[in-house]
Structure 1
Amino acid sequence: MSTSAQSGRLVLAGTPLGRVSDASAGLIEALRTADVIAAEDTRRLHRLAADLGVPLSASIVSYYESVEQARIPRLLERIADGATVVLVTDAGMPSVSDPGYRLVAAAAEAGLTVTAVPGPSAVLTALALSGLPSDRFTFEGFPPRKPGERRRALAALADERRTMVFFESVHRIEECLTAMVEAFGADRPAALCRELTKTYEQVRRGTLAELAAGAGDVRGEVTLVIAGNTAAAVTPDAVALAAEVAELVATGSSRRDAVDTVAARYSLPRRTVYSAATAARSRD
């Protein structure tokens, strides 16, 4: 591809989640004509190109989490010099719990052109298959790995009214679902979507308790879709707020984290919860 300063651009290209046949004509053209391809896994890129019958003439660089910050300056230089840089991740759209957003932000700040070749998304695919309300939703990515951090993060989402979509490692799915039962309630409707678009695709629908009970045999890539809280939100009084802070502190949270968690849970200003907790301590 001939390049010019006017034609330089960054292209975010969505790749198949599983079936190679889901690759778009736009993806094939982007790979065929790119000057540079930044790939999360260069081996997967070569395998995808071979499966698609696309000869790669571009310069190929690795672009995964540990190196993405270091790669950005040179990629911006190439775009500024007129090159078309195509960014691909292992599956789905770049930037969605995958490398990409830092490069997009840097390119936009530099006034460079950023565009996309739309493609598959595990978030939207799971949401559509879940059977749960999809008119309003929030994507929460991967829950924290550490139990305490995960507990606080989920507690802050307990009153979220929108449908929630999470990614989770198959190695942590049991403990994650158990934590969700604690945070959201055993009867909260949910869907566990695994191996989307692949040979062993499966969507399990039920309550969080039911999904947690059957999580021991889950294999493959997992996306969780959790119904929002449809109960009317009731803001506790100061005594109840202080009690919730004290309960979190008793289970290992720092006082600061406990105040933050309770404030987020009820969408309250932090100072309101802090004042309630402080007043309760002064009475003890």
Structure 2
Amino acid sequence: MTEGQTTNRRRITGFSNETVKAIRSLRDKKHRKASGRFLAEGLRLLTDARASGHLPETLVLSDTRDPHPLLAELESAIRAAGGAVIETTPDILAKITGKDNPQGVAGVFAELDTALTRIDRAAAPIWLVAQALRDPGNLGTMLRTADAVGAGGLILVDDCADPFSAEAVRASMGAVFTQRIARASWEEFLHWLRAGEGQLVAASLRDAISYREAPYTAPCFILVGNESRGLPGDYETAADLRVTMPMKGRADSLNAAVAAAVLAYEVLAALEKEI
């Protein structure tokens, strides 16, 4: 077990090292919350983060990784910002990330501000809203969809999965850094929404019209519910529009993230026609 300094990198080769333990603990929600930090893995994701103005506080590198100019630029930027660079073995990186075949680079980021008051509703024509979404993969996919359609971000209502979990961050494909994320109770969100402009559109079966015939207006807030239960009745009633998508097979509903994507592209097409 050795620990030393190599080319301005701190080298760690011990599984019991306190830094390794601290970074590994970020896979657990309680430790992320306590430290205010989260973990992201992969050069592409970290490069996208940098391009969006987010640098990791700590960069962890595998000593068997292949050299890459983007990695060199990232490492230089982190050092210039006063961050730390750690080099370690693939086995230790696997322990940190929880993956058998880690990508060779990971970063520790300060958790992003998720206050609803930070949202500028006029910044984008489309916003996604998820209520009690429990699957981190669905959450990450919704962030990725939001990025794809030029949305402003994702508002998480009530008890949702953690957007900074490793699964959600990975599924977002970097969109966790490009999209504004907010968390609020239903009452807080509805009060905030009604204090300004904004059309609330709910995916619903309750007195709903076809999603292709709805009169969408910007800024449009697309609301989807819990994967198994959907939206509570009073949440649906509070929406300005309730829309439905045809189900021509045996399934009676779409996956929440898929439904959000279908609606988001329909809203995008409708709003672009008005320009």
Q: Does TM, scored on the shorter chain, surpass 0.5?
A: no
TM-score in terms of structure 1 length: 0.29
Greater gyration radius: 1
- Return the TM-score normalized by structure 2: 0.30
Whichever structure has more strand as a proportion of its residues is 2
